[in-house]
Chains A and B, each alone.
Chain A
């Protein structure tokens, strides 16, 4: 089991560029989510999905898009990167989201210049 994997590990973007952060899990978990972690702000939920084809917004969704076409994958798209999106992004998954442990990926460090 690889668990939750994220690519890339590190990325530098220029303002206005777009990119997709990849997240995959091999645990057959229904629930997946994206968080950003900023100094002094803790972890904040961006988007989440309770199953293939179902996504919903979290606390800070603006500037990000998600889709969930398969159980395994949950990519996060930055449409037009801004310096305020400089952060560390974590993907997490759990079996159902209810009373279940969330497993986090290793994170993607994003720097937007």
Chain B
């Protein structure tokens, strides 16, 4: 079993729809959870960052972490064509371990 599983999609939605993305993981030691957004032919950029379980909201974006189920989600409300990108989940343990474990990425296309 891979450490982080993410369905690569692609996912096409009409403008204004809610986009729902998720990742599952196997390492119960993960404590820090991130979502990166990567536009075509660009480097990833950090979108959301959460610690442990719970929800975090930033504008149209909501990140959820359920450590008991080893499951994280990203929701994009009122999706825009500018949200079309690949979204990668990433996670790591604490205690000085710098290694990030990435999901494969999920391509999202928002159709005007």
Provide the residues of chain B in CB contact with A98, threshold 8 Å.
94, 96, 98
B111 CB, nearest partner CB in chain A, Å: 23
Complex partner residue of A31 from B41, B88, B98, B104, CB under 8 angstroms: B98
B93 CB, nearest partner CB in chain A, Å: 11
Interface 1/0 per residue, B61-102 and A, CB below 8 Å: 000000000000000000000000000101000101011101
Known: A90-B44, A101-B46. A48 touches B98 (CB 8 A): yes
Q: How large is the interface on B (under 10, 10 to 19, 20 to 34, 35 or more residues)?
A: 20 to 34
- Assess whether B98 is in contact with A107, with CB atoms less than 8 Å apart: no
Q: What CA separation (Å) do A41 and B4 show in the bound complex?
A: 11
Q: How large is the interface on A (under 10, 10 to 19, 20 to 34, 35 or more residues)?
A: 20 to 34
Complex partner residue of B88 from A4, A42, A103, CB under 8 angstroms: A42
Residue in chain A with minimal CB distance to B41: A107
Provide the residues of chain B in CB contact with A103, threshold 8 Å.
45-46
Residue in chain B with minimal CB distance to A94: B98
